[in-house]
Chains A and B, each alone.
Chain A
Amino acid sequence: QVQLQQWGAGLLKPSETLSLTCAVYGGSFSGYYWSWIRQPPGKGLEWIGDINHGGSTIYNSSLKSRVTISIDTSKNQYTLKMTAVTAADTAVYYCARGRALAVITARFDPWGQGALVTVSS
């Protein structure tokens, strides 16, 4: 059974860089895209971006200029970095397994536990 565990700094000041890491336990790491999704308090879900085992990425166009997703296949981990954060980036950030490379359907499953990141001066 695949499990995702995530961690990172929870309190940032404006203009700092957000950094979160997600570790994947169990299952295939190479056969999927791995995703980041966020949810501002009391609001809906926003996809941030995906990365695959080979390091190919795709980002939400609205965040692309500030976001980098990287992968460490030796540790089955991937990392989100977001630069120049503002209060608008305050949210619960989730990692999730994304689309499979060899399956026609595509979904986010399973999800990590979530990490609240607060941006405040």
Chain B
Amino acid sequence: EIVLTQSPGTLSLSPGERATLSCRASQSVSRSYLNWYQQKPGQAPRLLIYGASSRATGIPDRFSGSGSGTDFTLTISRLEPEDIAVYYCQQYGSSPTFGQGTKVEIK
């Protein structure tokens, strides 16, 4: 099983600041199978980024993904108040797994 470790656990930033979220895999993951999700309280997760760097339909361009191999990053270029959520990375190999999540909060 591929273990995904996200850091930091919590990120406290001011509106307009840049958020950088990390996802590290215990073994190499195909870029095609690395995804990011946003989950707000009481809601189902929503796909943000698929294939490591492609934005899902309707996702603002302030969200971007990058990385390869074992290290992947989700960047929010200018944090908006509505971006407050928990963000999960996920790999869709033969046995899909999720990271433990990074909580983004407003300072």
Contacts and interface: CB of A to CB of B under 8 A. Distances in A.
Q: How large is the interface on A (under 10, 10 to 19, 20 to 34, 35 or more residues)?
A: 20 to 34
A109 B44 contact: no
B101 A108 contact: no
Given A47-B97, A47-B98, A58-B94, A112 B32 contact: no
A47 B44 contact: no
Name A's interface SS. loop
B64 interface: no
A109 B50 contact: yes
Contacts, number: 56
Interface residues of B, number: 24
Interface string B85-107: 00010101011111111000000
Interface string A103-121: 0111111111110000000
Given A94-B44, A107-B35, A45 B95 contact: no
A52 B95 CA distance: 15
